[in-house]
Structure formats: structure tokens, C-alpha cells
Amino acid sequence: MADFKAGDVLHVTRAASIQFIRPITFRVIRMLDWPTYDDWAWLDGYEVNRKGDAVARRTVLVQPAGLRRLSAGQARRARAAPSPTPRLIRAR
């Protein structure tokens, strides 16, 4: 399992967890030692904007294999993909 340390900046997409329909840039505070499934991990940190400013504190459950570490330059350029138009499900 990957080991993340405080200050690591990650690009979190659906490859890490299905909840991330809209990718985020995430700065790690710490990797939590909470019980979870094999090949999953809890991370505590901040969602950051394009400027690198923290906009929301989050605790996320992810598959580390689906995360991409960003360099300082990449973190500044990382952009969230536009949110897809939600599909409406109609009852029949």
C-alpha cells in the first residue's frame, strides 16, 4: 500500500473512488489508521483550488492505486473536470 505524508498533493479521480465524479486536488494532512477494506485507505486533508488554497477539509476513503501524486507545478495547474450533466431516471 502506498504511504502518503503530510503535504503530499494528490489528484483524486474515479480511479481512486467512485464518489469522485468530479476530480479534486487534495493536500494530505495524514493517512488515518482506521479499519477499512483491503487495498483502501482513509486520508485526512484539504481539497485545494487551482491557486493551491485550501477550500474544504475532507476525510476521504480511496484506493491508493488510483491516486496520482502531483509535483508543485502540476498541483498549480490541476483543473477539475466539468461536472457532467446528471441523468434523470424516470419511473415507468
Q: Over the stretch 1-46, which tens digit does the pLDDT of each residue have?
A: 678 999 999 999 999 999 999 999 999 999 999 999 999 999 999 9
Phi-psi region at 39: left, alpha or beta (left = phi > 0; alpha = psi -120 to 50): left
Strands, E assignment, the chain = 9-12, 24-32, 41-48, 54-62, 68-69
Provide the grid cell at 7: 503535504
Residue 83 in any domain: the answer is no
In a domain, residue 20? The reply is yes
Q: Which of 17-21, 28-32, 67-71, 76-80 has the lowest mean pLDDT?
A: 76-80
Residue 87 lies in a domain: no
Q: What is the mean pLDDT of the chain?
A: 86
> How many domains is the chain built from?
1
Q: Assess contact for 54 and 37: CB atoms under 8 A.
A: no
Give the residue numbers spanning the domain of 22.
9-77
Considering the domain boundaries, does residue 68 fall inside one? yes
In a domain, 92, yes or no: no
